[in-house]
Structures are given as structure tokens and as C-alpha cells.
């Protein structure tokens, strides 16, 4: 259970050191699913050691693929032989949805329970299912279970009502083996999608337009093996930058550049927060002044989440944490998920000055003090941890297992750069 462990964080330390960034969770997971589109071997390199990645490997093995974890490289070989997935794995990770596109394209059928993961909003699959239906699949949902089957997929023009990242990726993977041409309109444009297309193209897919709102796919009869290294995790990078913004110090993030975290830097950058980029790594410095409120006064700003290239919703909880140290009022508007402010209620318990009005939060620094907080989801847990790092004294963030879904060795990596943090089990009565 997620509340079996917590992070004990004694905040107030400055952060110094180097951080190695590995493949992005949101790029690696669909890439691994794409390994089912061929009988040949697909190798995804530099994968992070996180629970979502290990669970995805278990899902692929369950439907018939051979999956080998070779250090940070994951090798997937062999197409699926069945379309039914384990309910136990589905309910703990949203990424089981990536099996929709690949199983329809290869096995011709799929049965899965509505995916689990973080409870941050409705997150329906209607855009996925509507697109698959236009490709020729018969889709229905009953009692929380999705059934899809198709004898043959045929290319089509698909207009998505919203630029959903997951739906764009699912429809990409379904259409590469469909007969004829598919045009996806109002696509998501995230860098992780471009990374997926890089893999599919290496496998022999014919795709153009990635990174724009219109992607065209000419279906091929079969795909081959490939090896690819995904982009680095911009959300993990942004989390380190958020911690630096509230703690002060200097960090070098290897494997990422300014352009990868441009919107995050907009939220954090000020005269006391400088960032330098050599193309291979990013160096960030936050100067903590003698009067800490002089630094925090520079941090207030307005943020609106939205589809790329707007501000990433996954970074919103970390931004909220940083804004809790600002004297000026920051406005954070969440437009992607309707239930993604649970972390703010926990921050309020520790003195944060927060007012929530529907989809908008007004945030400024209150009289902050250490205490206990409960994470309800992955990114919220990261945001609460960053918040605790800026408060002198020991705080506890319950729900460490949520954070493990997207952050590798969270406490050890932060300890290595100066944070006083440890993982503790919840004592049973």
C-alpha cells in the first residue's frame, strides 16, 4: 500500500552536486509497448529504475513477449499471443492503456479494465476508443472493462477533440500496421511523442509531422527490430530545479538542456536563480540571501497548465510548492485535470497561504512550519517533498511508494546533493 513508507525530510539545507538524468518515464512506457509491434528485438536504452517501468515489463511478459532487463537497457522480443491483461497490474498503473493500440494492431483484440494510476481526474479513454473505432475496431465498455476487436485495421482521418498524449501515442501505434494512410488531427505535441516516433521510424514505420498538430502515417505490412535511447526526463529535471529554487545552492543536471525545461524555467527564474546550458547539461544556481524573504519575493508568477508547449500539468505540484515560499501572490490555473490540487490542502496544514477557487489556486508564503503530509499521487508526492525541503525542521511525507512510480531512488539521489532525507516504514500499531 502507498502509505506503508514515508519520507522524513529535515528541510533548510542548500543543495550542491551533479544529477544524472535518465530516460523519461513518459517516453519509455509507450516505447516498451511498441516492442510488441514486431517479432524482432526492440531495445530501449537508459531506462529509469522505477516501479512503472518494471510493471510495464510484467505486462508485456504476461501477454507473451520475452522481456529482459539488462541493466538500464530493456529488451523486448516477440509479439503478444493474447489480448487479456491482469487486473492486478492494470489497477496500479495508467500506462496499461498503451496496450490498446498495440494489441489491436497485432492480436486483433484486447480486454482490459479501466486503467488505474493516480486519482487526479476522470481521465476517460473515449478519445482512444473513438480513434480506434475509426480505424475499424469495434469498441465497447461495460462495468469498467473495455473490449475491443478488429479483423483488420484500415487507415482513416481522425480528429481528436483534445490533444491527448496517451491517445496520440495509442493511435500512432495502432495505425503503423493499418492498411492505407492515417491522418491524426489535433495531436499532442509533447517531446515524448517525438521520441516514440523516432523508435517507430527505426522499426520501419512511415510517419511524418511529429511535433505538430497533424501527424500522417502510411501503414506498412510489418515492422522490424530497433534500438533507441529515449529523451531525458524533463519532469524529474524540473523537480530538482524546484528544490533548488526553495533551498538555494548549485546543481548540474546532466543529459538535459534549457529548451527541454523552458516553461519550468519561466516559473522559477529570477535575478537570484541563474541557469547555464552547454547543450549536454544544465547548470543552475540559486543564491540564498541573508534575508530569505528577499529571495522568495522574486518567485511569485502566474502559471496555466495545458498541452505542450504550455506548462506541463505534471510540474504543477512542484510549482505550487515553490510558490508557497513567495511573498507575492502566484496564480496557478489547472486546465488538464479537474482533481489535481490535493497537495495544496496538505501544504495548507503546514501554514501555506492558499486559496482555491475551482481550477485556480492563489498561493503565497504563510507562516510555514514542519509537520506531516499525505501524498495522494505521484507528482503530488514530489511536490510535497520539495515543499518540505524548504522548511526548517523535520516533516514527514507519507506515500513514498507513489513517488517511486516516477522517481528513481528519490531519497538517495536527494541525499547525495545535500538534502537531509530518509525513507522510513510506517509503524504498525
What residues are annotated to the active site? 118
Question: Quick one: CA dihedral 325, 328, 329, 334, positive or negative?
Answer: negative
Q: Can you read off the three cell numbers belonging to residue 57? A: 515489463
Q: Can you read off the three cell numbers belonging to residue 239? A: 523537480
Tell me how far the alpha carbon of residue 183 is from its chain's centroid: 26
Q: In the block, which residue shows the cell 544544465? A: 282
The CB density around residue 142, as the number of other CB atoms within 10 Å, is 7
CA atoms of 54 and 56, how far apart (whole Å): 5
Strand 330-333 relative to strand 302-304, pairing: parallel
Q: In the block, which residue shows the cell 480505424? A: 135
The CB density around residue 48, as the number of other CB atoms within 10 Å, is 21
Q: In the block, which residue shows the cell 516559473? A: 267
Q: How buried is 388 (Cβ within 10 angstroms: 0-12 exposed, 13-18 middle, 19+ buried)?
A: buried
| Residue 354 per-residue DSSP state | E
Give φ, ψ of 74 to 5 degrees. -115, 125
The angle subtended at Cα 187 by Cα 80 and Cα 406, nearest 5°, is 60
DSSP 181-192: EEEEES----HH
Q: Can you read off the three cell numbers belonging to residue 138? A: 469495434
Tell me how far the alpha carbon of residue 293 is from its chain's centroid: 32
User: For the chain, give me the number of helices (H) and strands (E)?
Assistant: 15, 23
CA atoms of 14 and 144, how far apart (whole Å): 47
Amino acid at each position: 500500500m502507498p502509505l506503508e513508507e514515508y519520507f522524513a525530510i529535515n528541510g533548510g539545507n542548500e543543495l550542491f552536486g551533479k544529477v544524472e538524468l535518465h530516460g523519461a518515464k513518459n517516453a519509455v512506457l509507450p516505447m516498451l509497448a511498441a516492442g510488441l509491434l514486431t517479432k524482432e528485438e526492440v531495445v530501449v536504452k537508459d531506462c529509469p529504475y522505477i516501479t512503472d517501468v518494471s510493471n510495464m515489463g510484467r505486462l508485456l511478459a504476461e501477454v507473451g513477449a520475452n522481456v529482459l532487463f539488462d541493466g538500464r537497457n530493456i529488451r523486448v522480443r516477440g509479439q503478444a499471443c493474447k489480448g487479456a491483461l491482469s487486473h492486478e497490474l492494470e489497477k496500479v498503473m495508467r500506462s496499461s492503456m498503451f496496450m490498446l493500440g498495440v494489441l489491436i494492431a497485432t492480436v486483433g483484440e484486447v480486454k482490459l479494465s479501466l486503467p488505474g494510476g493516480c486519482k487526479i481526474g476522470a481521465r476517460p479513454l473515449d478519445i482512444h476508443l473513438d480513434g480506434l473505432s475509426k480505424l475499424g475496431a469495434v469498441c465497447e465498455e461495460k462495468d469498467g472493462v473495455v473490449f475491443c476487436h478488429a479483423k483488420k485495421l484500415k487507415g482513416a482521418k481522425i480528429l481528436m477533440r483534445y490533444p491527448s498524449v496517451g491517445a496520440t501515442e495509442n493511435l500512432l501505434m495502432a495505425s503503423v500496421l493499418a492498411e492505407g494512410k492515417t491522418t491524426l488531427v489535433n495531436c499532442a505535441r509533447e517531446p515524448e511523442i517525438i521520441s516514440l516516433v523516432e523508435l517507430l521510424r527505426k522499426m520501419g514505420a512511415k510517419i511524418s509531422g511529429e511535433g505538430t498538430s497533424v501527424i500522417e502515417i502510411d501503414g506498412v505490412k510489418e515492422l522490424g527490430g530497433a534500438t533507441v535511447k529515449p529523451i531525458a526526463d524533463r519532469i524529474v529535471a524540473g523537480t530538482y530545479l524546484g528544490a533548488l529554487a526553495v533551498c538555494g545552492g548549485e546543481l548540474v543536471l546532466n543529459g538535459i538542456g534549457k529548451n527541454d525545461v523552458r516553461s519550468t524555467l519561466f516559473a522559477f527564474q529570477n535575478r537570484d536563480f541563474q541557469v547555464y546550458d552547454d547543450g549536454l547539461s544544465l547548470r543552475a544556481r540559486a543564491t540564498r540571501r541573508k534575508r530569505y524573504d528577499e529571495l522568495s519575493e522574486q518567485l511569485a508568477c502566474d502559471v496555466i497548465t495545458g498541452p505542450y508547449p504550455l506548462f506541463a500539468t505534471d510540474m504543477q505540484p512542484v510549482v505550487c510548492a515553490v510558490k508557497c515560499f513567495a511573498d507575492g501572490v502566484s496564480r496557478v490555473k489547472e486546465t488538464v485535470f479537474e482533481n489535481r490540487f490535493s497537495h495544496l490542502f496538505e501544504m495548507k496544514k503546514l501554514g501555506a497561504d492558499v486559496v482555491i477557487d475551482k481550477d485556480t489556486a492563489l498561493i503565497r508564503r504563510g507562516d510555514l512550519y514542519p509537520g506531516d503530509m499525505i501524498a495522494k499521487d505521484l507528482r503530488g508526492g514530489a511536490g510535497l517533498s520539495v515543499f518540505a525541503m524548504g522548511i526548517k525542521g523535520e516533516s514527514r511525507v507519507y506515500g513514498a511508494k507513489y513517488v517511486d512510480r516516477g522517481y528513481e531512488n528519490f531519497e538517495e539521489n536527494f541525499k547525495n546533493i545535500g538534502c537531509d532525507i530518509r525513507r522510513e516504514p510506517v509503524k504498525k500499531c
